[in-house]
Amino acid sequence: MSKTNPARGMRDFLPADVRKRNYVINIIKEVYEKYGFEPLETPSVENLETLTGKYGEEGNQLMFKILKRGEKLQEELAEGKIKSENELSDLALRYDLTVPLARVVANYRNELPKFFKRYQIQPVWRADRPAKGRYREFYQCDVDAIGSSSMIVEAELCMAVSEILEKLGFEDFVIRINHRQLLRGMLEASGIEEKSQNDALVSIDKLDKIGKDGVIKEFEERGITQETGNKLLNLFDKIREIDNAKRWDEKDFPSQTKNAAITNKLRDFVNSNEYGNLGIEDLVKFQLNIEEQSIENFIQIDPSLARGLSYYTGAIFEVVLTKGDFSGSIAGGGRYDGLIGMFGKEQIPAVGFSIGLERILFVMEERGMFPDDLTTNSADVMITIWNEESAGESLKLAGELRAGGLRVLVYPEADKLGKQFKYADSLNIPFVCVLGETELAENKVALKNLKSGEQETLERNEIAGKIK
Sites for a second copy among residues 90-129 (CB under 8 A): 91, 93, 103-104, 106-108, 111-115, 117-118, 123, 125, 127
Residue selected from 23, 25, 27, 42 as contacting a second copy according to rule CB under 8 A: 42
Span of 5-13, 177-185, 312-320, 436-444 interacting with a second copy by CB under 8 A: 5-13
**By the rule CB under 8 A, 72 interacts with a second copy:** no
**Shortest CB 214 distance to a second copy, Å:** 27
Number of residues that bind a second copy (CB under 8 A): 116
Longest dimension (CA), the chain: 95
**Shortest CB 453 distance to a second copy, Å:** 22
Residue selected from 26, 41, 374, 459 as contacting a second copy according to rule CB under 8 A: 41
Residue (of 235, 361, 350) closest to 301 by Cα position = 235
Measured between alpha carbons, how far is 468 from 275 in angstroms, rounded to an integer?
A: 65
* 269-308: contacts with a second copy (CB under 8 A): 285, 288-294
Q: How many CB atoms lie within 10 A of CB 441?
A: 8
* CA angle in degrees (0–180, nearest 5) for 138-142-146: 150
**By the rule CB under 8 A, 36 interacts with a second copy:** yes
Span of 44-52, 240-248, 362-370, 434-442 interacting with a second copy by CB under 8 A: 44-52
* CA angle in degrees (0–180, nearest 5) for 402-403-409: 10
200 vs 464, beta carbon nearer a second copy: 464
* 154-183: contacts with a second copy (CB under 8 A): 155-156, 159, 163
**By the rule CB under 8 A, 148 interacts with a second copy:** yes
Q: How many CB atoms lie within 10 A of CB 452?
A: 8
In terms of DSSP bridges, do strands 45-47 and 89-93 run parallel, antiparallel, or are they unpaired?
A: antiparallel
Residue selected from 26, 43, 264, 443 as contacting a second copy according to rule CB under 8 A: 43
225 vs 378, beta carbon nearer a second copy: 378
**By the rule CB under 8 A, 89 interacts with a second copy:** yes
219 vs 298, beta carbon nearer a second copy: 298
Task: Give the neighbor-by-neighbor strand order of the sheet with 431-434.
Answer: 408-410, 381-383, 431-434, 444-449, 455-459
245 vs 395, beta carbon nearer a second copy: 395
* 346-405: contacts with a second copy (CB under 8 A): 378-379, 382, 385, 388-389, 391-392, 394-396, 398-399, 402
Task: Give the neighbor-by-neighbor strand order of the sheet with 315-321.
Answer: 38-39, 116-125, 137-146, 350-356, 329-335, 315-321, 173-179, 299-301
241 vs 415, beta carbon nearer a second copy: 415
**Shortest CB 34 distance to a second copy, Å:** 5
Residue selected from 164, 224, 408, 435 as contacting a second copy according to rule CB under 8 A: 408
Residue selected from 80, 371, 418, 453 as contacting a second copy according to rule CB under 8 A: 80
Helix axes 274-290, 151-168, angle to 10 degrees: 50
Q: How many CB atoms lie within 10 A of CB 251?
A: 5
**By the rule CB under 8 A, 35 interacts with a second copy:** yes
30 vs 241, beta carbon nearer a second copy: 30
Instruction: Please give the full DSSP string across 213-277, using - where no structure is assigned.
Output: HHHHHHHHHTT--HHHHHHHHHHHHHHHHHH-S-STT-SSS-HHHHHHHHHHHHHHHHTT-HHHH
**By the rule CB under 8 A, 194 interacts with a second copy:** no
| Residue 242 vs residues 180, 186, 247, 288, 302: alpha-carbon distances, Å | 22, 18, 11, 20, 11
16 vs 245, beta carbon nearer a second copy: 16
Phi and psi torsions of 329, nearest 5°? -90, 150
Given its phi and psi angles, is residue 292 left (phi above 0), alpha (psi -120 to 50 degrees) or beta?
left
Residue selected from 24, 96, 97, 136 as contacting a second copy according to rule CB under 8 A: 136
**By the rule CB under 8 A, 335 interacts with a second copy:** no
Collapsing DSSP to helix, strand or coil, 359 comes out as helix
**Shortest CB 194 distance to a second copy, Å:** 30
| Dihedral (Cα; 286, 292, 296, 297), 10-degree rounding | 160
Residue (of 308, 298, 355) closest to 336 by Cα position = 308
**By the rule CB under 8 A, 229 interacts with a second copy:** no
**Shortest CB 196 distance to a second copy, Å:** 29
Q: What binding mask, one character per residue, do residues 427-466 give for a second copy by CB under 8 A, x or -?
A: x---------------------------------------
